[in-house]
């Protein structure tokens, strides 16, 4: 499975864009990159996923480099409620389903 590397923590000012990087240099051609976040004492929340094209939804944008070895999650206007641990994951296929292996993630703190 493709291992991901993320910085352990980041700060961001409220209202500014939060750019969270992730390295996945061993990703293979058909593996997607998924982003989740976990707010304290809650289950992880799905944010976005992509293969090779940039993706955008109501929560965030995902920028994937052309060589697919890294990606950046962008929260365009961070709010205090975006403070959470953000996980970048490349799932492992297991039979008919995919397993998510959680690393340490990035603790994003949005500052007032």
18-37 residues near other proteins, rule: CB under 8 A: 32, 34, 36
Q: Identify which of 21, 19, 20, 22 has the alpha carbon closest to the alpha carbon of residue 2.
A: 22
Q: How many CB atoms lie within 10 A of CB 54?
A: 12
In angstroms, give the least distance from the CB of 29 to other proteins.
14
State phi, psi for 42 to the nearest 5 degrees: -125, 165
Per-residue binding string, other proteins, 71-90, x by CB under 8 A, is ----------------x---
Residues that bind other proteins (CB under 8 A): 32, 34, 36, 38, 41-46, 49, 51, 87, 91, 94-105
């Amino acid at each position: 499975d493709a291992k991901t590397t993320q910085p352990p923590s980041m700060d961001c000012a409220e209202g500014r864009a939060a750019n969270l990087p992730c390295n996945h240099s061993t990703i293979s051609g058909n593996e997607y990159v998924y982003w989740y976040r976990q707010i304290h004492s809650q289950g992880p929340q799905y944010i976005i996923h992509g293969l090779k094209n940039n993706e955008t939804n109501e929560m965030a944008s995902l920028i994937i480099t052309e060589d697919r070895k890294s990606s950046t999650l962008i929260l365009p206007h961070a709010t205090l409620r975006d403070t959470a641990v953000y996980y970048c994951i490349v799932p492992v296929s297991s039979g008919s389903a995919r397993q998510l292996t959680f690393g340490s993630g990035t603790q994003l703190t949005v500052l007032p």
